[in-house]
Amino acid sequence: MNKRLQTIGLVLIVVLAGCSGAPAADGPDADNGTSIENDTAGATDVTQSLGITVDETTTGDELNEIGATYPRDEFVVDAAQHDEIEIGVDSDGDGTTERTFNETHISGVNNNAYSFDISLESGYTLQSGDVVTVEYPAIDNPSEPGEYTVELRLNDRQTANATAVIE
């Protein structure tokens, strides 16, 4: 329950930061947050939730891909089945997902030892300020505690970095 409350709190912080009226951070330094089900060093098969705020790069495009790259030799990204992955969009900044996409929308999941990419046919047009989230259930944490940079990708056109904190 405590991890779930932390996840909800983190999503709210990310959403409210995007609605603050301040200009968004540019490019690879835009920290869109991450939530880790089990942030213990060395934990395996951990579900990690990542979020990226839509900017002008992808506004007006159909949501068709989301992915992440973790630091090589630190995290291990294992294969996940379509029905284990959750993708959502918070379109009004209230911290609640208005649109969800499941295995019926996912057309492909590709991974290697340190990244994953999910292709989907959502039929959803991205709007500026939307927060697109993905929960990926098969990640092994690094053996050492620390702060790690995770690169997020949206539609293979927009990128942003998030920080994964491992205790």
Phi, psi of 4 (to 5 degrees): -65, -40
pLDDT of residue 95: 81
Residue 94: the pLDDT is 85
N-to-C CA span, the chain: 18
Angle at 153 between CA 128 and CA 97, to 5 degrees: 50
Q: What is the mean pLDDT of residues 18-44?
A: 62
pLDDT at position 93 is 84
Grouping H, G, I as helix, E, B as strand and the rest as coil, residue 29 is helix
Sign of CA dihedral 42, 48, 54, 60: positive
pLDDT digits (tens, 9 = 90+) for 99-147: 999 999 999 999 999 999 999 999 999 999 999 999 999 999 999 999 9
Q: Report the predicted TM-score, pTM, of the whole model to 2 decimal places.
A: 0.80
- The total of structural domains in the chain comes to 1
pLDDT tens-place string over residues 40-84: 999 999 999 999 999 999 999 999 999 999 999 999 999 999 999
* CB burial readout 62-81, b (16+ within 10 A) else e: ebbbbbbbbeeebbbbeebe
Domain that holds residue 160: 2-166
Beta bridge partners of 152: 68, 160
Look at 35 and 76; give whichever has higher pLDDT: 76
How far, in Å, CA of 122 to CA of 88, rounded? Answer: 10
Cβ-based neighbours of 23, under 8 Å, separated by 6 or more: none
Residue 130 sits in a domain whose CATH number is 2.60.40
Span 81-102, mean pLDDT? 94
